[in-house]
Structure 1
Amino acid sequence: MSDPRVLVCGSRRWPWPATVHAVLNRLATRYGEHLVVIEGAASGADRAAHQWCLDRSLGARHRCHPVDWDAIRRSRPDDWRRAGPERNTRMLLGERPQLIVAFHNAFDPARGGTSDMCLKGVLCAVPVWLVPGADLRAGRWLSAKTFPRGRVGRVDRELGNGPPLSDYSPQ
C-alpha cells in the first residue's frame, strides 16, 4: 500500500479484541507513523480498533465514523436501518482505504453490515481480508464470487459503478 489506509469492520459481538490489535500492530510495524485507521465506531471489532488508535494516540490518523442511532431513528423512523450501509458507503468513498480487514466469526455473505462493507469494498476494487476467529492467519481474501449474485448487482447499482462485474460467476 503506497498510502497505508486500512478500514476495520466486523461483528458487533467480536470476542477477540487482541486479534484486531495484532493485525493493527503488524500494519503499524510495516507502515509506521503513516498508517491511517478507519472504523465505524460500533461495538465489537470497531471498538477494538478504536481503542487501539486511542492507546497509540493516532490523532488525525484515526478516522472514526459514528452513527447517532437515536437521532436517526427519530428523524427517519421508516428507514433508519439504512444509516449503517450509508455510513459504510461514506467511509469507503470518503476515506479511500487501500485495505479492508473484516473481523467476523459468523460472516454471512447474504446479509449484515460487515458483509455490506466487504461487498462495497470488493466492488470498489479494495482488497478485503476476512478474519473469522482468534487466529488471524486463518483469514481469507474475499471476492465478488463470495456474495450472492443478486446482492452484488444491487449494491453495484447503489454505488453507481455501471455495468455489473463481468468476472462474477456463482459459487
Structure 2
Amino acid sequence: MRIIVTGDRNWYAPDLAEQVLNRLMVRYGPDLTIVHGGATGIDRSFAEACGEIGIEQEVHTTRWEELDHPEAVIRYDKRNRPYNANAGPIRNQAMVDAGAKMCLAFHRAISASKGTKDCSRRAIAAGIPTYLIASEAAEPKRLAAGDARLR
C-alpha cells in the first residue's frame, strides 16, 4: 500500500512517525511504501522510522536546479543564481501522480503552510483520501476539497 506523507519541515517527530507506521502496519499489513519529499522535519522523521522498521520508501526530492522543466518558474537567489521556484509543487504533483491509497499531512497550522497545503490539495483533487495530523496527540481528521484550512 502506497501512502504519501507530507508535512512541516520544522516538525521533527521520529517517535510520532514510528507510532504512525506501527498503526498502519497493524491495520494494513507490512507491505507499505511511504512516499515523501526527502525534506527536513516530518519527511526526515518518516525516513528514519522507515529505515529502523524496514518499511520501503520512495523519495521525490525537490529539484530546484531543474530550470528547463515546462512548469518551471525561474527566480534568482541572493547570489543571483537561478532556481526553479515551482520545484515544490512540481514534486508534490509527481508524488500524487505516482499514485497512493492515502495521504497523511502533518502540520500544526496547515492554513499557514505552503508545501503541505499544496500537496494535500493535489492529493484530494486526485481522489486520494487525505488526513491531517495536527499534533502528536491528535487523531487524523479527513480533509476535503473546499476545507477552509486549505484555502
Question: When you count strand as a share of all residues, which structure comes out higher?
Answer: 2
Q: 1:123 to 1:147 in 2, by over 3 A?
A: farther
Question: How many angstroms does 1:136 deviate by?
Answer: 3.5
AA aligned to 1:143 is: A
User: For 2:42, which of 40, 45, 49 is the aligned residue?
Assistant: 45
Secondary structure of residue in 2 paired with 1:13: coil
Kindly indicate whether residue 34 of structure 2 is the aligned counterpart of residue 25 of structure 1. Answer: no
Paired-residue identity, %: 29
Q: Check the 8 A contact 2:103/2:128 in 1, yes or no.
A: yes
How high is the TM-score relative to the length of structure 1?
Answer: 0.73
Q: Distance in 1 between matches of 2:32 and 2:149?
A: 33
Q: Distance in 2 between matches of 1:147 and 1:112?
A: 14
Q: Distance in 2 between matches of 1:40 and 1:93?
A: 14
Structure 2 segments unaligned to the other structure (5+ residues): 76-82
Off by >4 Å, runs of 4+ in structure 1: none
Kindly indicate whether residue 69 of structure 2 is the aligned counterpart of residue 65 of structure 1. Answer: no
Kindly indicate whether residue 8 of structure 2 is the aligned counterpart of residue 11 of structure 1. Answer: yes
Question: How many angstroms does 1:54 deviate by?
Answer: 1.2
How high is the TM-score relative to the length of structure 2?
Answer: 0.82
Q: Check the 8 A contact 1:98/1:127 in 2, yes or no.
A: yes
Q: Distance in 1 between matches of 2:48 and 2:88?
A: 21
Q: Distance in 1 between matches of 2:53 and 2:5?
A: 16
Question: How many angstroms does 1:140 deviate by?
Answer: 1.3
Structure 1 segments unaligned to the other structure (5+ residues): 152-171
Question: How many angstroms does 1:148 deviate by?
Answer: 8.0
